[in-house]
Structure 1
């Protein structure tokens, strides 16, 4: 049994990052971790979402998944963030949730915990690496311990070779991306156990 308590915080507009989060949660549970799968609160106006059927359908599909809270972050001893790339950085819904965590950060409650991230974009050169790196800058401000996959497993190469975190193109959660995500999560759980 693992001592890891992993909060997987994700945001998904059309389903790609939801699928990645589910894959990550399964891998973490298989590794023995206790998992809280939570979604970043929606910040887009509901009338805008309602005008785009795929977005509305995805919102309904995730309705049973609780919204992320500061309590989830305090409970966890490891974090995985998953969300889409928007103009080379993480989607505003993830950013908005992070911006609510100032009190925890100020009290040191986010420090010394392993953290990792995954993302997707419309195309392979849509800013995925800058998205992950910008998230890691935030995690460094927390005093988090970044656990990137690096080139530590063949699955990283098979999924496109991104050492910063698992990435995929929108609508395409391939078997290779799933394998890379599973490796990244197992590595994160392993380091959470070492620190626990």
Structure 2
């Protein structure tokens, strides 16, 4: 009887932990899934059963799902190491989504506690991605926290290039929902506007 009680406790604890992690990450997963689907051309809306596997979906064996919810327990160098481990074994079909999800998780901590090298590393990781859909504001937040070693001119250049890249991606995407397209474009515009206003305030 005791064994069953222990097993039941473990199962309930693990289930609760998994549900907590899924709750934290679900909005990001939904955004990435929506964007991935909208990029696919030639889909048939008459299909009742989808037989192909969406390989852009992040599998649950990734390190991020073990760290999620407990990231405050680790130092930035440990989190950066976990990130690199995940990327070293990630498949190309979902690696961009995985990088975006990690950045959602780490951005604030890296911005506040990260070393110069760690900040540069994550900026470059985002700059080199195809799209930064969930992370417009986070990218600019990290960029502003690099003002001690990035000049004003370089920061402006990076901010503009980041905007131009993502704006081009949004304009080149086949959106099924015009409202979704409009919302993402507005989010991108507001992110660079807010960045400009905040940067001007800091430099006064």
TM-score by length of 2: 0.31
Q: TM-score, normalised by structure 1?
A: 0.32
Higher RCO (CA-CA < 8 Å; seq separation 6+): 1
Structure richer in helix, relative to its length: 2
Higher Cα Rg: structure 1 or 2? 2
Greater strand share, 1 or 2?
1
